[in-house]
Structure 1
């Protein structure tokens, strides 16, 4: 079956008559009939079996979501965490130790740099950033390099990296690759199928889809999956059954929501590119986007994210006035929900390798296109344009 169909049927209750959705199991404590039964469960758990044995280790509701995400990502096992940043930290703390070397793509989500500056470097881990190319990556490799971390497409302006080439290089040197797959949310791209060792997501975004749950996911296979699970348990990372239930609800409609987000975003991107004062529309599905060919090869579609780069003669104050003139787009730093959002962004402050190329460019705005009617969103964007004539 296609993933669209699988997402409707995975992790549903099998007993009939019975509910179509898995029950919400809220508990901390799991009781046993006997010490023999309890000890048997602990033994099987130590051997790697996933069992309902204590709330922090998962419940039938969270197990159902784990299975659904594993199917979506194409991995053997998924860990659920209370946020996307928690998922990032789980990966870093599992794979790295003091004295190791980490190489990170320059275009990653900004909080990754906060993790580096506030946690990894004080802990004795060396970090370098690469521009997304294998050529630059190769110059940074050291004997102590233990992880390559990237995000495809990149954050804010969606730089496309050749993930297949990166993972092939990494495999030659026996180095795992971790990929932030939030943009594609498992539906549009599967990093594990392209050779990555770990795929992580902020499920808060498109997976949940309703802006009402914080969620992180980390998916892997084999020994890496086991290591991630053990570290998650050691760190006490878990989510509630209620949040798992809401995320499962979001997954059921992910394909149709993503298609609507993409359709409207494509229409608005084409329209925005024709407006006065616009230097470029950053959107991987556009033919003029750098790396568009890689997007065509590796992704099955696009989402609702668009970043507008204005001309250099547009001031930050004009950009901000334009943002505040919008009425259907709420100002907010998240994305992927049913509602449209707008946020001023500054790529130069989120880059090191490529920061210089943004110095003389115009201000940028990120749009997260929601599920409102496209004509209403376009009208809202159009009326805000009067700010540039004042």
Structure 2
């Protein structure tokens, strides 16, 4: 049987052969026709696409679902290659690249909800997604109910209404890392003719959403695919043609796309994503286990730990682990003491985002909004994003930090 130490990295390592071959220019593509093929897709910048005649312009203009060059605002060749690459990784039909991970969440919600509708969102969702639901969706006449991310099937069925249009999921949850039972959510959503949308940012590459019943998968490619903290970009992937047409029409009307340079940087990052994340996941497990044994720590919220409530679902549904988890300190420590500890760290940068080469720390106490009783609300907590550092260096840094509590 595979050990947890091997499993956290296994899914990433299995991706490598796919990642190194995605999005290569075809030999017949200009300007390389009859002269060979570049290994990497070149950056293609442009707004206007010229056509030889009006008939060609009309014919090509009808191909907005086909990832072809029509006009810069509908995507350039490098964006289309990134879309094909993401769809292949997600095992989906088509992908729409958008400007950010948040844009992926909001565009998907706008696409599959309408005035008078109802949306179910987990209480553990990404904070900006919650703010969008509470402000913009409400303004557009869509009501949102927040549900326990660990809800039972019977509990979820009880929340469904005739007007429920979307069940939104985020697994694991933001900051508190609850793993959701996605096949169960899909069963209930589809029984009520609702669309299941999953924020798959943590699971991108190690969780295949459409094999588990998801209809729409969104992610911040900023994290794993970008990988170098120099790009902000998102993606929405769907499984079926009719969903692709609906998404593509909405994205065009909303003006959603990403700049060619952002797409090119993301494609470059994809090449090494498996290698980077395999190492980061292994290091994350080492650091998480060390922290779990510390007397200052009440709980480490990381699905790859055997005592985590989501461990069984992680084992069942995921092929690896992400490098992001939270640490809950004993309630005897104050928030001020925790912040002193965070400020003392030298190997961990204090900043938002995660998934890149650098290790990051971010306090979560006081920054997490919950409608339901918050997990470990009486204890100070912080989130760690593990980078490419040596685990011994990270542990030594955390050790000196904890000594300051």
- If the TM-score is normalised by the length of the shorter chain, which range does it land in? over 0.9
1:9-45 CA distance string (max 9 Å, x none): 1211232523100111000110011112112212344
Aligned to 2:189: 170
**Contact 2:134–2:144 (CA under 8 A) maintained in structure 1:** no
Aligned to 1:98: 115
Structure 2 matches for 1:124-273, cutoff 5 A? 124-132=141-149, 133=151, 134-185=153-204, 187-220=205-238, 221-273=240-292
Q: Which residue of 2 aligns with 1:9?
A: 21
| 8 Å Cα contact 2:296-2:402 kept in structure 1 | no
**For 1:135 and 1:213, how far apart are their aligned partners in 2?**
42
- Deviation readout 1:314-339 (Å, 9 max, x if unpaired): 10011000000000101001111100
Q: Which moved more, 1:225-234 or 1:1-10?
A: 1-10
Q: Which residue is 1:113 aligned to?
A: 130
Q: Give the 3 Å change call, closer, same or farther, for CA 347–282 of structure 1 in structure 2.
A: farther
For 1:243 and 1:150, locate their aligned partners in 2 and report how far apart those are by CA, in whole Å. Answer: 27
1:54-100 deviations in whole A, cap 9, x for unaligned?
11111110011000000011111101111111111111111111100
Deviation at 1:7?
1.5
Q: Is the CA contact (8 Å cut-off) linking 2:297 and 2:327 kept in structure 1?
A: yes
Change (3 A) 1:43 1:82: closer
In the superposition, the TM-score normalised over structure 2's length comes to: 0.92
Distance 2:224 2:38 in 1: 25
Which residue is equivalent to 2:310?
291
Q: 1:348 to 1:138 in 2, by over 3 A?
A: farther
State how far apart, in whole Å, the 2-side matches of 1:279 and 1:92 are.
36
**Which runs of structure 1 show a deviation greater than 6 angstroms over 4 or more consecutive aligned residues?**
none
Contact 2:160–2:192 at 8 Å: present in 1 too? no
Structure 1, unaligned runs of 5 or more: none
Cα pair 2:335 2:365 within 8 Å, conserved:
no
What TM-score, normalized to structure 1? 0.95
Secondary structure in structure 2 of the residue aligned to 1:300: coil
| Deviation (angstroms), 1:53 | 1.1
- After superposing the two structures, state which structure 1 stretch, 165-174 or 26-35, moved more: 165-174
Q: 1:213, 1:321 → 2: CA distance?
A: 30
Q: Describe the SS at the equivalent of 1:129.
A: strand
Match for 1:77 among 94, 100, 105?
94
Rounded to whole Å, the distance in 1 between the matches of 2:200 and 2:117 is 24
Q: CA RMSD in A?
A: 1.5
Q: Residue 349 of structure 1: CA displacement?
A: 3.5
Q: How far does the alpha carbon of each residue in 1:198-255 deviate from its partner, in whole angstroms, 9 at most, with x for none?
A: 0000111111111100011000022111111110000111111111111001111111
Aligned positions, number: 383
Partner of 2:379: 362
